[in-house]
Amino acid sequence: MLPLMKLIVITVLALWIMGCATQTDIWVTMPAQIPAATDMKNIAVHRLSGDHRGALTSRLINFLSTIEVEGERYFNVVEREQLEAIIREQQLGEQGLLADDTVVEAGHLVGVDTLITGSVRPRSSEHTYNYSDVEKVSCQVNTDYPACICVEQDTQGNCTAREREYHVSHKCTRHEFFAEVSVRAIDVKSSRHKFSRTYQERDEYTQCDNLLFAIFARPQDLEAQVYERIFSAMRRDLAPYRVKVTLDFMSSDNSQLKRNKPAAQLLKNGLTYVEDGQVTRACQLFTQAVSMYGESPALYYNLGICAEIENDLSRALAFLKKADQLHGKSHKKINKAVQRVQQRVDQQKALARQDKKQPPQ
């Protein structure tokens, strides 16, 4: 038993150490997933086909109007009423708006560079069904009712507890909502499509007549959740967006760092500062430590993470590649960091191209 207990203790400790990895989070701006969308500046939205009340079109306009990058509005959206007034004056129908000449005409008249059109296909359904549940109730111990069975006995074999079961039927309704939203962006100058994309989402919930399993929701809440997810996906497609990235620090390596006690202590103290949320102070200690001992992959790796936090990606890559060189063989954490920073370099180049579009005033 002792070896088994020892193994269990070692396993628990290993899992605890893995769960307490020294790390910090940063926010990174990612480029829009549809590069052609970032050419849009002044846009107008035509009512989506299938949106008979115009509610989703209005929501789409509001969504586009409120997209911000670095605190600035990313698109200038023409009021829907202004576009529809032009369409009525020019006697253009929905099909006419997709023709080259009318796209240019309507777009020029409202002063936009891009027209957004498309369609929505919502579908809701309800399915009612019954299900049976088994419930148990206690009976008197001395009852002779056949349905009350003995569930406990004493040492003498005498029954000390009886129960009876009965089936209860419940009525449930499953509500489901599905939506498919297709959007197309048309360049006013050339009358060509810049891009098109289709989004699909569904959700459901179930309500039963027994309060124990009841879910208090409304069909309109379900619909709102589905469209919220569609707009969330659309947000990443149309404009730069931010994501949280978790960065891990290294606490040890295969060098002789431990023999240089002052440098090793600085590494240890720096990691403590990271855990306390004082990353700037930690990076100062890592810099001081590497000046005392310049053969540690962990120190150079941590300096690479510090440079990445400062968004100095070229310096981050230099430190990380130095860590890889010193380590002498493939290291999963170092490889992951090098790949991530190289990807961020490419993403920043894409962002620079997308940021050439000046935000609307």
Domain extents in the chain: 30-120+185-198+217-243, 247-354
Length of the chain: 361
Between CA 281 and CA 273 the distance in angstroms is 7
DSSP state of 105: H
Locate 275 and state its tokens: 């855990």
Residue 191 pLDDT grade (very low, low, confident, very high; cuts 50, 70, 90): confident
Residue 80 pLDDT grade (very low, low, confident, very high; cuts 50, 70, 90): confident
Average pLDDT over residues 209-236: 81
106-127 pLDDT tens trace: 667 778 899 898 999 999 999 9
285-340 pLDDT tens trace: 999 999 999 999 999 999 999 999 999 999 999 999 999 999 999 999 999 999 99
Reply yes or no on whether the pLDDT at 361 is more than 50.
no
| pLDDT at res. 100 | 47
15-38 pLDDT tens trace: 444 334 699 999 999 999 998 888
Residue 97 pLDDT grade (very low, low, confident, very high; cuts 50, 70, 90): very low
Query: pLDDT exceeding 90 applies to what percent of the chain?
Result: 59
Asked if residues 222 and 177 have their Cβ atoms less than 8 Å apart, the reply is yes
| pLDDT at res. 132 | 81
| pLDDT at res. 146 | 86
| pLDDT at res. 86 | 67
Selected residue with higher pLDDT from 64 and 88 = 64
pTM here? 0.73
Asked if residues 88 and 17 have their Cβ atoms less than 8 Å apart, the reply is no
**Which residue, among 119, 121, 77, 76, has the nearest Cα to 98 in the 3D structure?**
119
| pLDDT at res. 90 | 62
Reply yes or no on whether the pLDDT at 194 is more than 70.
yes
Reply yes or no on whether the pLDDT at 163 is more than 60.
yes
| Positive or negative torsion for Cα 221, 227, 231, 233 | positive
| pLDDT at res. 92 | 53
| pLDDT at res. 217 | 65
Pairing label, strands 149-153, 159-187: antiparallel
What would the CATH number be for the domain defined by 247-354? Answer: 1.25.40.10
Reply yes or no on whether the pLDDT at 95 is more than 80.
no
From the number of C-beta atoms within 10 Å of its C-beta (0-12, 13-18, 19+), residue 167 rates as: exposed
